């Protein structure tokens, strides 16, 4: 059997680190992607135990799942504006807080709420650089019209989404200035922008000014923050656990795996483990941009890996061992020549829970 193992203690540790970093700012626990692969309901329960009472999801259906699982008093913000009436009805059924990112979405939300004789809480999203959802910074008049002409919508917050927080502070501050400009216009009109939030995990650590009234945190709870240097006090959560199913010797010059990518330089003892990229091991998002900077980064990473002889390892009870050859769809081969290893022995692999959690059963420890 193979599992994605989720260490609850590490999530709790990271939650306390986030709370300390956030200071007086409220915390929205972001649960997108089935709780980043850790499980929507399970992660929400662990975070609630650590005092997180506000959550954010991408799909209205996830908000309803949380309500049905007993999260009745927590605020649930849907981080996606929508003009689709069926999604709006689902959002209202879940008593979730809506996101309004366009005048058209506001019209649909207001109409459905009026039909149900209710007033729905909503946060205004301002597009300061992400380019997906949100009013443009120059559309303050449209934002004000939501306050003035949409009586079934109660604006309780305003936010933006940082697009390059992992790259540095200057991008964060640029987008933050655009958001603050819109907020200033709302206040100048005598209206309340509500709870202000912008910081994701990277921005929380990189830019204290971005904390505002609340922060939206996801990856920091997993301890997996891309491009953050040094020890920032978080623990990585999640690993694949499986077992050796066969152990045998191979002769010198034997080749291992697809493409004969590895050739044994001497007789070797190998172990086969039924884990591969279909389980999220070494799987990654495909390249989808080819700007000069992106290509240079890819090339630099590949060259650095070649010079440093970057290798993939697995952990066993007897020690760390190298993965040899290409990782297959459902198999990995380990060099166990120098350690004690037998069929049935436990093997652990580093993984991205967002990928492995979609493919493997989860085991919480």
User: For the segment 78-95, what is each residue's pLDDT rounded down to a tens digit?
Assistant: 999 999 999 999 999 999
Q: What is the pLDDT of residue 297?
A: 57
Cα–Cα distance measured from residue 68 to residue 296, given in angstroms and rounded to the nearest whole number: 48
Q: What is the pLDDT of residue 359?
A: 86
User: Out of 3, 8, 19, 32, which one is annotated catalytic?
Assistant: 32
Closest CA to 156 of 98, 79, 102, 107: 98
Q: What is the pLDDT of residue 28?
A: 98
Kindly give the interhelix angle for 169-188 and 140-149, rounded to the nearest 10 degrees.
50
Q: Where in the chain is the domain with CATH 3.20.20.10?
A: 7-222
Cα–Cα distance measured from residue 183 to residue 123, given in angstroms and rounded to the nearest whole number: 12
HSE-up (13 A, CA, CB side) for residue 21 = 28
Closest CA to 197 of 89, 124, 285: 124
CB 55 within 8 A of CB 94: no
Kindly give the interhelix angle for 85-93 and 103-115, rounded to the nearest 10 degrees.
60
Query: Among this protein's residues, is 32 annotated catalytic?
Result: yes
Residue 111 DSSP SS3: helix
The structure tokens listed for 33 are: 């992607």
> Which residues, 6 or more positions from 277, have their beta carbon under 8 angstroms from its beta carbon?
283, 327, 328, 329
Cα–Cα distance measured from residue 63 to residue 75, given in angstroms and rounded to the nearest whole number: 10
Q: What is the pLDDT of residue 101?
A: 96
Given a cut of 70, the residues of the chain with pLDDT beneath it are 227-228, 230, 283-310
The structure tokens listed for 81 are: 């504006």
CA pseudo-torsion sign 147, 151, 156, 158? negative
pTM of the model: 0.88
Q: What is the pLDDT of residue 260?
A: 84
Q: What is the CATH number of domain 7-222?
A: 3.20.20.10
Q: What is the dihedral of CA 84, 89, 94, 99, to 10 degrees?
A: 40
CB 91 within 8 A of CB 58: no
Whole-number Cα distances in Å, 346 to 64, 173, 356: 38, 47, 18
Cα–Cα distance measured from residue 247 to residue 269, given in angstroms and rounded to the nearest whole number: 7
β-partners of residue 243 are 346
User: Out of 149, 167, 173, 258, which one is annotated catalytic?
Assistant: 258
CB 154 within 8 A of CB 146: no
Phi, psi of 348, rounded to the nearest 5 degrees: -125, 135
CB 364 within 8 A of CB 253: no
Cα–Cα distance measured from residue 189 to residue 119, given in angstroms and rounded to the nearest whole number: 22
Q: Where in the chain is the domain with CATH 2.40.37.10?
A: 239-364
Q: What is the CATH number of domain 239-364?
A: 2.40.37.10
CB 28 within 8 A of CB 18: no
Cα–Cα distance measured from residue 76 to residue 31, given in angstroms and rounded to the nearest whole number: 10
Q: What is the pLDDT of residue 284?
A: 66
Phi, psi of 158, rounded to the nearest 5 degrees: -145, 135
Residue 151 CA from chain centroid, whole number = 35
CB 103 within 8 A of CB 76: no
Task: Please count the other Cβ atoms lying within 10 Å of the Cβ belonging to residue 301.
Answer: 11
């Amino acid at each position: 059997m193979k599992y994605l193992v989720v260490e609850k203690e590490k999530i709790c540790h990271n939650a306390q680190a986030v709370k300390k970093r956030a200071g007086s700012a409220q915390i929205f626990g972001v649960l997108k992607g089935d709780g980043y692969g850790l499980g929507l309901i399970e992660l929400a329960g662990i975070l609630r135990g650590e005092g997180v009472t506000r959550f954010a999801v991408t799909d209205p259906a996830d908000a309803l799942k949380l309500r049905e699982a007993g999260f009745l008093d927590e605020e649930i913000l849907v981080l996606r504006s929508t003009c689709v009436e069926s999604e709006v009805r689902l959002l209202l059924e879940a008593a979730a807080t809506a996101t309004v990112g366009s005048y058209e979405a506001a019209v649909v939300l207001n109409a459905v709420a009026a039909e149900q004789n209710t007033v729905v809480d909503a946060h205004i999203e301002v597009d300061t650089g992400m380019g997906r959802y949100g009013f443009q910074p120059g559309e303050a008049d449209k934002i004000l019209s939501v306050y003035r002409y949409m009586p079934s919508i109660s604006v309780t917050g305003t936010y933006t989404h940082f697009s390059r927080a992992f790259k540095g502070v200057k991008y964060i501050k640029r987008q933050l200035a655009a958001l603050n400009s819109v907020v200033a216009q709302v206040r100048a009109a005598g209206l309340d922008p509500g709870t202000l939030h912008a910081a994701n995990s990277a921005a929380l650590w990189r830019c204290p000014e971005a904390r505002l009234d609340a922060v939206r945190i996801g990856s920091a709870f997993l301890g997996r923050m891309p491009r953050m240097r040094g020890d920032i006090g978080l623990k990585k959560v999640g690993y694949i656990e499986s077992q050796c199913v066969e152990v045998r010797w191979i002769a010198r010059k034997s080749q291992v795996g697809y493409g004969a990518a590895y050739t044994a330089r001497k007789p070797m003892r190998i172990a086969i483990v039924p884990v591969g990229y279909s389980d999220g091991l070494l799987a990654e998002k495909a390249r989808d941009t080819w700007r000069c900077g992106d290509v240079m980064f890819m090339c630099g990473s590949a060259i650095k890996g070649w010079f440093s002889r970057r290798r993939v390892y697995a952990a066993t009870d007897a020690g760390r061992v190298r993965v040899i050859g290409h990782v297959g769809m459902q198999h990995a081969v380990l060099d166990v020549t120098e350690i004690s290893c037998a069929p049935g022995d436990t093997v652990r692999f580093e993984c991205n829970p967002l990928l492995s959690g979609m493919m493997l059963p989860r085991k919480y420890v």
